[in-house]
Amino acid sequence: MHLERRHFLAALAAMSSSNCSYAAPSPKVRTEHLAKAGETTSFLIAWTDFKSRHIQQDGRVVDNGNGGISHSEGQGYALVLAELAGDREVFDRVWRWTNENLAQPDKALFIWRYDPGAINPLADSNNATDGDILIAWALGRAASRWQNSALETRATSIRASVARHLIIDSGRSLLLPAAQGFVQSDSIVLNLAYYIWPALAEFAEMEPHGPWVKVMEDGAWILEQCRFGEHRLPCDWVSYSGGKVAGPAAGWEPRFGFEAVRIPLYLGLSGLEGQVRPVIGFWQSYFAKGETPPAWVDVRSGAVAEYGLSYGAASCAAVLANAEMPANTPVQHDYYSSVLTCFSSLLPKQT
């Protein structure tokens, strides 16, 4: 099914619930919101803190919560945030390091992990799809902001590589988490946190005959099947088999946790938060008691973490739940929490 570009976000929103009562914004409105959000004081304060703590002078983004490694995801996040802040100097530094150190030699994707303490810092040459999408999204936006045709050429080639190597047809158009390691003999492992909805929407606007609308349509359908357990929550990793979601993927904890917390974030940035109303309702049940929601929930057993969401994740949850952050939520400055803090300030306020 091919939708007119001005309708596809509204169609995705309608797929989430027959009782849906909100209207998804058009891609133009959503893009304008992001541009304006990037000028707000709250975002610029969060961005200034992030870049001072986590971006080296050479442009490497350091994950200080994960042994000081770097990864394509972190480089991509920094590029997106730098473009939104209009910070050309940092953008250029981060892109230079990313291109020089993580670009794969045989296709326009990026090596997912750089470990400065290893003999071979790039021992695992696999990609990470979310990192590739973030980088392509940032380059495309930067090309438009700064009228740079070289960046647009590179963004186009990355999108083409994502389409060629990371999207497969298995009854549905599926977005693989990486080029290697997720297609098994009897199933495919998916991570819905890798569906970066505002980026995919902009790709669809730029390439109306590309695969992006179908990927989003089928991603929305898959998400609808991922309502597990008492609270009807998605989990970090899921198994797709026989044309349907088979359940949480074997080999990973069956948790709505570290990865899946980004699903409502990306949907919220596109005005599609209605697709995860159970998640938002779960968070609201904790905020209403003055408590921070747990960092993870086991979607099979119902067990929850004994500690709360990180400050950044709780910030995102509070905006989406239209709630106040508990006063005792500890501020954290690790890389992942800092990224989420930045993105929380870009979310539209809920009413």
Write down the catalytic residue from 58, 63, 87, 130. Answer: 130
Q: For tokens 């326009």, what's the residue?
A: 108
Handedness of CA 100, 105, 111, 115 (dihedral sign): negative
As a whole number of angstroms, the distance between CA 326 and CA 293 comes to 10
Closest CA to 46 of 321, 312, 319, 260: 312
Closest CA to 349 of 326, 325, 320, 327: 320
130 is catalytic: yes
Listed in sequence order, the residues at least 6 apart from 333 whose beta carbon sits closer than 8 Å to its beta carbon are 49, 53
Is residue 147 left, alpha or beta, with left meaning phi > 0 and alpha meaning psi from -120 to 50? left
Listed in sequence order, the residues at least 6 apart from 164 whose beta carbon sits closer than 8 Å to its beta carbon are 107
User: 170: exposed, middle or buried (C-beta count within 10 Å: 0-12, 13-18, 19+)?
Assistant: middle
Question: Tokens for 155?
Answer: 């963004």
Q: Which string of b and e fits 197-219 if b means at least 16 CB within 10 Å?
A: bbbbbbbbbeeeebbbbbbbbbb
Known catalytic residues? 130
